[in-house]
Amino acid sequence: MSDLRTLFGITHPIVLGPFGGLSSVALTAAVSNAGGLGSFGLYGYDGDRIRATGSELRAATDRPFALNIWLPTGDEVEPNPQHTVFAQALQPFYEAVGVAVPTRPERYVPPLDEQLDAIWEVAPAVLSVVFGVPSPEVVAEAHDRGIRIVGTATTVAEAVALAEAGVDAVVATGAEAAGHRVSFLRPAEESLVGTFALVPQVVDAVGVPVMAAGGIADRRGVAAALALGAAGVQVGTAFLATDESAATAAHRDAIRATAADDTVLTRAMSGRLARGARNRAVRAIEASGTIAPFPMQNWLTGRFRTAAGEQNLGELQSLWLGQAAPLARGTTAADVFAELAAGLPAA
């Protein structure tokens, strides 16, 4: 446990899961200020927005924090003529929230190099990555700047690949976890290992600290993770349900109302497999059989999801949540953090 505290400069080995599109400065700072490691997801952020976010985080906390990026996997599509076809298939959702069917953009996501240039300027304590292994150049640049790198694995083989690449710690994320399955060596559907099975095997396979993620929402989950050999935990859903998160009221309500066996793994909202609530949008898109590849689908649904969020229409949002959602009972970040910290051994 002392490994993570020393490695990241934190007091408690509790890490906030980064949320692509749902991170908030308030929640990230709250977790860091409580003595854990707050994380902020930068999916879709261009360089200027990353720099602005970094400034906001520096103003909100003087404690270490992490920034998270999605690595390209090589199968991402660029805007092409098929954009119009897939956009028209989603027309009923645009009409439901009162927005026009979106025209094809110049790009769906900013280039990785643009994001990294901004991250080096912000200089977070930790850079965490999902969907792959950071390049030797990225690892070297981060370490030269005193930035720790954390990789995310859904299988033992992925954890080994990350450790061999020189990451400082690995998040072993079980199939119970909310949001995207960040598998990269095999298809996500073939990488659905549960947290209880995954964590001890990863601990045995790598020589760097391992954080357990997936199905952890209270002190019992923390104690179990440590018993499995984890050096700490990364928690998402429980924090996403708090007042400080960027989740809408409808999303927070869904977290508290969705049973573990009512969550679903779906590609409907983004084109990649992710765990959340099976709402009207997910059911309708899956029934249509028309799902664009990533990141086209994510961009297209994002146009109506954003409007739905502003209107608090949960049935048309991406309601990402994990199988431990019923255990997410805290209403503030402080409540959740205190509950999780109660599972740590006494100092």
Question: Which domains does the chain possess?
Answer: 2-341 (3.20.20.70)
In this prediction, residue 167 carries a pLDDT of 98
Mean pLDDT of 39-60: 98
Portion of the chain with pLDDT greater than 70, in percent: 99
Residue 277 has pLDDT above 50, yes or no: yes
pLDDT digits (tens, 9 = 90+) for 222-263: 999 999 999 999 999 999 999 999 999 999 999 999 999 999
pLDDT digits (tens, 9 = 90+) for 204-227: 999 999 999 999 999 999 999 999
Residue 157 has pLDDT above 70, yes or no: yes
pTM given for the model: 0.96
pLDDT digits (tens, 9 = 90+) for 284-314: 999 999 999 999 999 999 999 999 999 999 9
pLDDT-based confidence at residue 21 (cuts at 50, 70, 90)? confident
In this prediction, residue 1 carries a pLDDT of 43
Mean pLDDT of 272-280: 97
In this prediction, residue 152 carries a pLDDT of 98
In this prediction, residue 20 carries a pLDDT of 86
Q: What is the 3-state secondary structure (H, E, C) of 245-280?
A: CCCCHHHHHHHHHCCHHHEEEECCCCCCCEEEECCH
pLDDT digits (tens, 9 = 90+) for 70-113: 999 999 999 999 999 999 999 999 999 999 999 999 999 999 99
Residue 347 has pLDDT above 50, yes or no: yes
Residue 141 has pLDDT above 60, yes or no: yes
